[in-house]
Structure 1
Amino acid sequence: MKREDLTKLRLELAKFVGEVLKDHAEQIWSDELWQIEATDESGLILFVMHVSASDAPATRRLVPATPAGV
């Protein structure tokens, strides 16, 4: 794969993650790690992006926990 194609793929992965965050904002706050992988045609993983969100200690007692499955 050409360097330009890899750069384009990285940008597309970032845009995709942005859309996932926008469309599933409530689920992001379930204190779980999300992992999104970009692969080539053969299934070789080329890029991995990790997304996590958690309440800081200062707000944990103030913000209600997100119910499982939301």
Structure 2
Amino acid sequence: MQKRWLTVADAAKYLSLSVKTIYAQATKGEIPSAKIGGSVRIDKKKLDEQLENQILDMESKVKDWI
């Protein structure tokens, strides 16, 4: 069973980004996150959905361009 909530460090590894970038994006609301027990956690399910939507949007733009 996969974890639903990722630590910032786990999310950074998952996305190949720095911990600082994950914190910044979470603070800006650019990635789905919540503060749980005083720690920032990233919602992996919503993050995956967001990434999938971004990929589909890019594919659509490429098809329109071609």
Normalised by the length of structure 1, the TM-score is: 0.29
- Between Structure 1 and Structure 2, the one with more helix by share is 2
> Which of the two has higher C-alpha Rg?
1
